[in-house]
Amino acid sequence: METYRADSSETLRNKCAACFRQYNKLEHLVEHMKSSHHSIHEPKCGVCDKHCRSFESLREHLIGPLPKVECAKVFSQRGCSLCLIIFDSPNSLRIHRASCQYSRTPGLASKMSNMSMCSITPENNMHVKDLRVDGRRGPQVVALACKMVGGGSDGSVDLCARLCIVDEDENVIFHTYIKPHAPVTNYRYETTGIRPEHLRDAMLLKQAQRKIQDFLCNGEPLWKIRSRGGKARILVGHGLVHDLDRLGIEYPSILIRYEIQTAGSTIQDPYEDCVAAMRLYLRMRSQAHPSYPGSDGGMQHGRNGLSGWNQKELERMTPATMLENSTSDYYCWCLDSY
C-alpha cells in the first residue's frame, strides 16, 4: 500500500491508495472512495499492491490480454498461475505448485457417485440421490452443469438436454437427461455424447425446472432470498447464467459463484464440469485474506464504512486512512463472508 507523504505533490496526494487513480481535487478523490467501496478484502497484486475489484480483474492485471508490463514480468517468473500469489523465488513457487492444485483425491463416495452417473442409460436415464428441500439447514454449496443440444433450422439454438448437480463432496445429487421443449435438429454428439434414444423418455423440462428451483431456494421464496443468513443454496459452475436461462430458472446472482471452463475429453461430461467448478470454488474459498475486526465486520452489508464521516473529516484523511475505513459493498472474493 502506498504511504502518504506530507510533502507529496497535489496530484500524488489525490491518488487512490487502492486502484491508483489520480484526481485533480481532493473532493473528487473522496467521492471516488465513497462510490468505489474499496476494501482490504479486494484481491491485490503482489508486485505493485494495486487493488482489483475481483479475482478475474487481478488475473487480467497479471496475465492479460493487456497486463501491466512490470507486474507481468515478475509474475511470469515467480507467480502461481492458479492462485495468482507471487513468491519470493522460483524455488518457493515450485514447492507451492505441488500443493496448489484444484484437484483432490476423490473419496469412495465420489467414486461410487461417478459410477452411478456413468451408468445412466436410455432405459434408466435418471440418477437422483435426494433432491429435497431442507429448510432447517443453512446454506450449502452445490455445483450445476448442463449440456446443450441444438435446435432451430440451423441447430444453433441451445436446448438443455442433460443436467448434473453435485455437492461439496462430489456426490451426485441429481443427474438426468432432459427432454427439450423444442425439436432437436443437432444432437452435437461429438461433444455431448447425446443420442435421440437418450431423450426419448427423458424428464420433461418443466418437471426439472420445478425440482431444481425448489431445491436451490431450499424453502425460501425467491423474492426473500438474501446474500447472508438465509437457507438458499450457493450455486457454482461454468456459464451458469446461460445454463439457468436455458433451463428457464431464476436465481439471484448473489448466490452464483465461480464461472470456469474445463478442458478434458472430446465428449464433455456435466459431472466432470461440476467437479471442476466445485474444486475451484473450495480452493479459492480456502485462500487466506484479511478480515474486518469483529464477527460481523462492525458494519451492515452494502454500507460503506466512510458513510459515518463528514466531508471535511474525509478530506483531512490520507488516501491510506480512507482505504482502511472503506468497506466493500459486496461479499468477499472468497464468496461466502466478509
The enclosing domain of 272 has a CATH number of 3.30.420.10
Answer yes or no: is 292 within a domain: no
Shared domain for 76 and 206, answered yes or no, is: no
Q: Which band of pLDDT confidence, cut at 50, 70 and 90, is reported for residue 120?
A: very low
Residue 307 lies in a domain: no
Average pLDDT over residues 107-126: 42
Strands (E), the chain: 126-128, 141-151, 157-166, 172-179, 184-186, 203-204, 234-236
If one counts the domains in the chain, the total is 2
Query: Three cell numbers at 282?
Result: 473450495
The residue type of 183 is: P
Q: Is 200 in the same domain as 92? A: no
Residues 6+ apart with CB under 8 A from 125: 176, 177, 198, 201, 202, 203
Looking at residue 50, what is its pLDDT?
A: 94
Q: Is residue 76 part of a domain?
A: yes
C-alpha span between 236 and 242 (Å, rounded): 13
The number of residues making up the chain comes to 338
Number of other residues whose CB lies within 10 A of the CB of residue 205: 20
How much is the average pLDDT of 229-236? 84
Whether 213 is in a domain gets the answer yes
Average pLDDT over residues 316-336: 76
Q: Give a yes or no: residue 214 inside a domain.
A: yes
In terms of Cβ atoms closer than 10 Å to its own Cβ (0-12, 13-18, 19+), residue 80 is middle
* Nearest CA-CA partner of 149 in 111, 120, 178, 115: 178
Most confidently modeled range among 15-29, 40-54, 136-150 = 15-29
pLDDT at 294: 45
**Per-residue model confidence (pLDDT) at position 134:** 62
Closest CA to 282 of 243, 328, 234: 234
pLDDT above 90 (res 276)? no
Same domain, yes or no, for 151 and 280?
Answer: yes
Q: At 297, is the secondary structure helix, strand, or coil?
A: coil
CA separation, residue 163 to residues 20, 41, 223, 271, 285 (Å): 44, 34, 25, 8, 25
Is the pLDDT reported for residue 1 higher than 50? Answer: no
Nearest to 237 by CA among 191, 211, 272: 272
DSSP 175: E
Q: What would the mean pLDDT of 35-58 be, rounded to a whole number?
A: 86
Model confidence at 334: pLDDT above 60 = no
Rounded Cα distance between 129 and 116, Å, is 10
Q: Are residues 145 and 218 in the same domain?
A: yes
Indicate if 42 and 174 belong to the same structural domain.
no
Give which of 292, 336, 332, 338 is closest to 43, Cα–Cα: 332
Assign 118 to helix, strand or coil: helix
* 308 or 288, higher pLDDT: 308
Whether residue 255 sits in one domain with residue 167: yes
**Does 6 fall in a domain?**
no
CA dist., res. 308 & res. 268, Å (int): 52
Q: C-alpha cell of 4?
A: 502518504
- Looking at 247, 265, 286, which one is the last position of a domain? 286
Question: Is a pLDDT exceeding 50 seen at residue 299?
Answer: no
- Domain co-membership, 174 together with 282: yes
- pLDDT band (50, 70, 90) for residue 290: low
Model pLDDT for residues 47-95, shown as the tens digit of each residue: 999 998 877 789 899 988 888 999 999 999 999 887 888 999 999 988 8
**Listed range (1-5, 20-24, 81-85, 276-280) with the worst mean pLDDT:** 1-5
Judgement on whether residues 69 and 192 belong to the same structural domain of the protein: no
Cβ 204 vs Cβ 160: under 8 Å:
no
Average pLDDT for residues 216-232, to the nearest whole number?
82
Residues 163, 87 within the same domain: no
Range of the domain at 26: 14-99
User: If you compute the radius of gyration of the chain from its CA atoms, what whole number of angstroms results?
Assistant: 24
Q: Nearest to residue 259, comparing CAs of 287, 242, 235, 240?
A: 240
Distance (Å, whole) CA 110 – CA 4: 53
User: Lowest mean pLDDT: which of 113-117, 218-222, 249-253?
Assistant: 113-117
Residues 204 and 270 in one domain: yes
More confidently predicted of 334 and 219: 219
277 contact partners, CB below 8 Å, separation of at least 6: 143, 145, 236, 237, 238, 258, 260, 262
Residue 230 lies in a domain: yes
One-letter identity of residue 251: Y
Percent of the chain at pLDDT exceeding 90:
33
The answer, yes or no, to whether residue 224 has pLDDT greater than 70, is yes
In a domain, 309, yes or no: no
133: alpha, beta or left? (left if phi > 0; alpha if psi -120 to 50): beta
Three-state SS at 272: helix
